[in-house]
């Protein structure tokens, strides 16, 4: 494509920032939202307005959507006056929404019948990241199509990753978010116990941030060096010692009447691993138990499951 014309649908908190960064990068734009007022800044920069997704699709080469979820994605794409009615051979639709991998795979098949390509490219980084162009973008679909539009993605994201076939971007985003919300649970347990046991909240939080957890060692060092390689000997930190630490925390929780549901689950996993005879292996060996429950799925760097 020589002069790419970009369409953008969904100009809310996330879409507003992303679309503005695309416009500021010099792309000609056509925009649409259920609230026309949300497009004011873009229209002032020279963007055109489309009354429907169909009308927008008819006038652009590349379409972005940033929508609340699967219901809206389906409505905008295949509903009345939807994108599918306006796309033509060579059109590219990139859905930035956090949505259903199954749905985007189904929609991709429908759009392919029209000669159009579909990518799923959910983002992470929040409203501030959308405004400043500091977003992680996880892109699934045809790699050649991804390479065609990568420069547009880089206009509003500083960490753009190709994840594989259609739907894989959405899977990565859902796994990312679920990890975050799970971490919030155990963090809240430990913060409430620590404060109830007598530690100042600021001091407690500072120690957590300054330690291995706060420095991000688990994702950046420990898991890549142990679990993701299937290497548990010699131990980085022995399973029996990890179980001892969590046991002491649970003992403290009982002393101060603080429920520790997530921590109790961690302790049970560590105990089950000890019962396998793994007490002198690296503590991350306990993660093999979940691999078994998932149907003997191996998660290893450089290997496919």
Exposed, middle or buried by CB within 10 Å (0-12, 13-18, 19+), for 19?
buried
State the Cα–Cα distance between residues 303 and 230, nearest whole angstrom.
11
For residue 265, what are its two tokens? 């689950």
Quick one: how far is CA 254 from the chain centroid?
36
173 is catalytic: yes
Q: Which residue has the tokens 């689950």?
A: 265
State the Cα–Cα distance between residues 176 and 287, nearest whole angstrom.
18
For residue 107, what are its two tokens? 């929609």
Left, alpha or beta for 60 (phi > 0: left; psi -120 to 50: alpha)? Answer: beta
Give the H or E element holding residue 8: strand 5-9
State the Cα–Cα distance between residues 151 and 153, nearest whole angstrom.
5
State the Cα–Cα distance between residues 282 and 113, nearest whole angstrom.
51
Residue 97 neighbours by CB distance under 10 Å: 26
Catalytic residue among 5, 24, 159, 173: 173
Crossing angle for the helix pair 168-196 and 261-274, to the nearest 10 degrees: 100
Residues belonging to the active site:
173
């Amino acid at each position: 494509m020589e002069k790419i014309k970009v369409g953008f649908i969904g100009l809310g908190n996330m879409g507003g920032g992303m679309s503005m960064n695309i416009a500021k990068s010099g792309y000609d734009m056509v925009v649409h939202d259920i609230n026309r007022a949300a497009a004011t800044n873009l229209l002032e920069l020279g963007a055109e307005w489309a009354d429907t997704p169909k009308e927008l699709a008819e006038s652009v080469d590349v379409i972005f959507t940033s929508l609340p979820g699967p219901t809206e994605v389906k409505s905008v794409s295949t509903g009345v006056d939807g994108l599918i009615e306006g796309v033509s051979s060579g059109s590219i639709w990139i859905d930035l929404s956090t949505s259903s991998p199954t749905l985007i795979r189904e929609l991709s098949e429908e759009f392919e019948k029209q000669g159009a390509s579909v990518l799923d490219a959910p983002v992470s980084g929040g409203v501030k990241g959308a405004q400043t162009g500091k977003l992680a973008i996880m892109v699934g679909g045809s790699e050649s199509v991804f390479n065609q539009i990568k420069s547009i993605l880089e206009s509003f994201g500083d960490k753009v990753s190709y994840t594989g076939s259609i739907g894989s971007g959405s899977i990565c985003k859902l796994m990312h978010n679920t990890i975050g919300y799970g971490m919030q649970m155990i963090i809240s347990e430990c913060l409430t116990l620590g404060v109830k046991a007598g530690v100042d909240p600021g001091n407690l939080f500072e120690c957590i941030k300054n330690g291995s957890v706060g420095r991000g060692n688990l994702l950046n060092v420990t898991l890549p060096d142990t679990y993701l390689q299937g290497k548990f000997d010699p131990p980085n930190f022995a399973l029996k010692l990890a179980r001892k630490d969590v046991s002491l925390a649970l003992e403290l929780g009982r002393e101060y009447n603080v429920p520790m549901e997530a921590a109790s689950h961690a302790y049970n996993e560590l105990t089950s691993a000890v019962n396998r005879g793994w007490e002198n292996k690296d503590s991350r060996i306990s993660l093999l138990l979940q691999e078994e429950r998932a149907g003997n799925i191996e998660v290893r760097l450089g290997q496919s499951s």
